[in-house]
Structure 1
Amino acid sequence: MKKEIGIGLLGFGTVGSGVASVLQQHQEDLTYKLGVPVKIRRVLVRNLHKERNTDLPQELFTDSLDDLLNDESIDIMVEVFGGMEEARVAIEQALQAGKGVVTANKDVMAVHGRDLLVLADRNGCDLFYEASVGGGIPLIRTLEDGLASDRITSLLGIINGTTNFILTKMKHEKKTYAEALEEATALGFAEADPTADVGGIDAARKMAILASLSFSEEVQLDDVYVRGMEAIEDGDLELAEQFGYTVKMAGSAKKDEQGVEVAVEPVFFPNAHPLASVNNEFNAVYVRGAAVGETMFYGPGAGSLPTATSVTSDIVAACRNLLLGVNGKRVHSYQYERKTKTDEQKSARYFHRIAVRDEIGVLARLSAIYSKNGASLATVIQHPNPAREDADLIFITHTISRKQHLDVLEELTTAPEVNGVLSHYRIEGD
């Protein structure tokens, strides 16, 4: 029976210092729950001379990964320094050294997760990654354990706090995109370079992780259709509100007998839908199971302590497995072969906003384009635009395939009556 569990901490930034704080402040509770204390043995940092606000002794800090790999008192490595290649190599070497790993790295898990999980199985080690998605929301553990007896058929949610904060400020406080982004950056919700967030890449990585786990099928990052916030045009949020919708950057994943489809993009939610009222930096995810039906998980999607709490919960799980002698006993191979849907097999309702010449017969000619492509229309409205000499036509379709949607947009773009396809959105949650 081990008398103590040693932790090697890889990184001491926002999340790493948060993990250290949680482990130190909750040491009495952890010792009670596990029966043994959990101690940080070494901390890997890039700059040994940087000043740090911490009670940890300076001699615990090192800039050499080998110091942690070769330390036999370290049982579990906690990777929280982020990035891609450096983190992947560190996780790989830790597993090869027979040490369990806890990571908050969505980038590595989205791209290399399958290989690393196989490596963990091969070396009889645990690899936990709860904090890679959803901040403080226990999504991954719920999918792995709580809903293990069910068959997940779809996921739908808001999984990026930065974009949700920006859209909240734009809708409720009428701020411009630039103003909302500046506030998000000042509050620490947005990175200095927000490209991965506002471009949808951050959410796409998370959706690849969640879909692979939920469907027991490999979903690669390239399988995720991505449109970023640049697709949102001036006036779209106000126009959505007029039609009873709210614009959200959302991730969706669906699986049926035809295959899997995964997307991240701005979508329209009816104002009455619960996801429409998820504001600021909060995340929320709907999980639909064949047996349980629809469940929703809501909480802070970012921040030092929420993320550190998820990391620490993984540390506790890894410690329990270690103490029970069942570490590395989970099977991480996928049950199903990878099978993605074609555009003909994906279906949804769509909102199209088109700038047209304000003249007789335009509506009939454009409606004929929809009819020609088999796209049935639920709503057609001409919306005058006082800022321009032309007018906006709003088309809301019934459920059509993504191919029909794209074919219609292509024909609209080249139609002589059309001055431009201003924006288009998938409609969710009707």
Structure 2
Amino acid sequence: MVAPLKLGIAGLGTVGAEVVRVIARQQKTLAQRCGRGIEVTAVTARSKAKKRGLDLKGVVWAKSPLALANDPNVDCFVELMGGADEPALSAIEAALRAGKSVVTANKALIAKHGTKLAELAERQGAALNFEAAVCAAIPVIKTLREGLAGTDVNRIYGILNGTCNYILTRMEQEGLSFEACLKDAQRLGYAEANPSFDVDGHDTAQKLSILASLAFGTKVAEGAVSVEGISSITPEDLNAAQDLGYRVKLLGVAVRTKTGIEQRVHPTMVPRSSSIAQVMGVTNAVTVDGEGFSPITLVGPGAGAAATAASVVADIADAARGLRALPFGRPVAKLGTTKKAPMERHEGGYYIRLLARDLPGTAATIAARLAEQGISIESIVQRHPDGSREVGTGKKSVPVPVILITYATTEDAVRRALAAVQRDKVISGRPQVIRIEKN
């Protein structure tokens, strides 16, 4: 009879506590599916006295994460503390050096140290599983690493942050400002007291760097991701997007180009007919565009104790089965390197919203500056409050909103054209620019 897999769990917050409950509740099912039992034998947490509603009778309390990782009675070290560095890093390294399986939900640590840890796991013949680090219950890591192992991925993109998707959904559906939606998201617990990590795009960037490594066989490089957040998005942009057949989402996008892998996080207009445009609220989604098949979109809960615990337990089950997949799908020695691609080289369509001054020649000046940079306009809309005027009549001095949708062009061309328009002083304020991502 095969001995049960003995777990040491570091971190008993909402996710860690839920993992303990799931293992206790699904003990019989897990044993049947894995061919052996799974039991929690040791834990560690900041406070032993805290009430968690868990039955931990007979479970050893380790003095520290490092002590837990080195415990000879632990076969699989489960790290659920969080944080990009210590104490999680040293504890995981110790467990891997001992040849133990490691399961973690720590996206920050994998984004920063994933390549180094994968190399250590490979050298020691140990498992390093981190499905829950990206999109919680959505099995995107295994899909890329195992399900699509024989496929060349050309592009992967998705809604990787539920907070931002919730805010943009509320703004669109209720016409609220970014500030009002953020305040409500904080009240409901969807956003932190300091929400910058989410709304400025850094959470998405960490997750994207992990997905890009799996999709394109490169070393994890969070610093190679260009990042913009959603704080500049207004209800006017969302209304215009709806009129033009688009919806605004904060996307993480990694795409293979002629010059390398382009990784970017920014507000994006996507066709309303696309699968990813239908994903609302706190839900996450990832689309994989590969050779030989139509894009695949995976949708599901991207956060929450139950969703995250489900992925953690699935990784533990793999360890119990004795599965040892390479963490990033390839030997570390075969992983390529990637550098931050200058956004100026990005090619695609653009949404541009200008506040045009109502002066003679304004429209002609804007058109001329765009033409100088080789930018072709797919559509132009003048959103007058009374619907009665054209830009350039000079009848009123109030700036008129003008919305342009371009055909594919470069970011550099758009920036040069808009800089020239601003120097001409035919617009008020800064132009709003949102990239368009086609299906």
Using the size of structure 1 for normalisation, the TM-score is: 0.93
Q: Which residues of 2 match residues 348-359 of structure 1 at below 5 A? A: 348-359=348-359
User: Structure 1 residue 13 and structure 2 residue 13: aligned?
Assistant: yes
Aligned AA (2:80): V
Q: Which residues of 2 match residues 109-124 of structure 1 at below 5 A? A: 109-124=110-125
Contact preservation (8 Å) 2:35, 2:321: no
Relative distance call for 1:32 and 1:78 in structure 2 (3 A) is same
CA distance in 1, matches of 2:63, 2:125: 27
Counterpart residue number, 2:407: 398
Aligned AA (1:390): P
C-alpha deviation, 1:135, in angstroms: 1.2
C-alpha deviation, 1:232, in angstroms: 0.9
* Secondary structure of 1:157 counterpart: strand
CA distance in 2, matches of 1:219, 1:72: 31
Residue by residue, what CA displacement relative to the aligned partner does 1:24-53 show, whole Å, maximum 9, x if unpaired? 111110111122211111111012222222
Contact preservation (8 Å) 1:318, 1:327: no
User: Structure 1 residue 188 and structure 2 residue 189: aligned?
Assistant: yes
CA distance in 1, matches of 2:175, 2:339: 42
* Secondary structure of 1:263 counterpart: strand
Q: Percent identity?
A: 36
C-alpha deviation, 1:331, in angstroms: 4.4
CA distance in 1, matches of 2:189, 2:165: 14
Aligned AA (2:165): N
C-alpha deviation, 1:57, in angstroms: 2.5
Counterpart residue number, 2:134: 133
- 69-78 vs 19-28, which moves further: 69-78
Counterpart residue number, 2:367: 367
Relative distance call for 1:219 and 1:354 in structure 2 (3 A) is farther
Counterpart residue number, 1:306: 307
Relative distance call for 1:388 and 1:227 in structure 2 (3 A) is farther
Counterpart residue number, 1:409: 418
User: Structure 1 residue 332 and structure 2 residue 331: aligned?
Assistant: yes
CA distance in 2, matches of 1:70, 1:111: 23
* Secondary structure of 2:383 counterpart: strand
C-alpha deviation, 1:59, in angstroms: 5.2
User: Structure 1 residue 280 and structure 2 residue 289: aligned?
Assistant: no
Relative distance call for 1:70 and 1:208 in structure 2 (3 A) is closer
Counterpart residue number, 2:389: none
* Secondary structure of 2:112 counterpart: helix
Aligned AA (2:258): E
* Secondary structure of 1:235 counterpart: helix
Q: Which residues of 2 match residues 12-411 of structure 1 at below 5 A? A: 12-57=12-57, 60-86=60-86, 87-321=88-322, 331-333=330-332, 334-338=334-338, 341-343=341-343, 345-384=345-384, 389-411=398-420
Relative distance call for 1:129 and 1:170 in structure 2 (3 A) is same
CA distance in 2, matches of 1:217, 1:211: 7
Q: Which runs of 5+ in 2 are unaligned?
A: 387-395
- 340-349 vs 79-88, which moves further: 340-349
Contact preservation (8 Å) 1:48, 1:63: no
C-alpha deviation, 1:189, in angstroms: 2.6
C-alpha deviation, 1:202, in angstroms: 0.3
How many equivalent pairs are there?
427
CA RMSD of the aligned region, Å?
Answer: 2.2
- 255-264 vs 200-209, which moves further: 255-264
* Secondary structure of 2:404 counterpart: strand
* Secondary structure of 2:402 counterpart: strand
C-alpha deviation, 1:339, in angstroms: 5.7
CA distance in 1, matches of 2:355, 2:429: 5
Residue by residue, what CA displacement relative to the aligned partner does 1:336-356 show, whole Å, maximum 9, x if unpaired? 343664446421100111112
Aligned AA (1:310): S
CA distance in 2, matches of 1:89, 1:133: 22
Counterpart residue number, 2:429: 420
Contact preservation (8 Å) 2:375, 2:409: yes
Relative distance call for 1:46 and 1:412 in structure 2 (3 A) is farther
Residue by residue, what CA displacement relative to the aligned partner does 1:148-188 show, whole Å, maximum 9, x if unpaired? 00111101211111111111112113333344334433443
* Secondary structure of 1:237 counterpart: helix
* Secondary structure of 2:136 counterpart: coil
CA distance in 1, matches of 2:298, 2:108: 22
Aligned AA (2:369): I
* Secondary structure of 2:72 counterpart: coil
C-alpha deviation, 1:111, in angstroms: 1.3
Contact preservation (8 Å) 2:164, 2:250: yes
C-alpha deviation, 1:376, in angstroms: 1.4
Contact preservation (8 Å) 2:118, 2:326: no
CA distance in 2, matches of 1:122, 1:349: 45
CA distance in 1, matches of 2:330, 2:410: 36
CA distance in 2, matches of 1:385, 1:265: 29
- 105-114 vs 416-425, which moves further: 416-425
Q: Which runs of 5+ in 1 are unaligned?
A: none
Aligned AA (2:240): L
* Secondary structure of 2:231 counterpart: helix
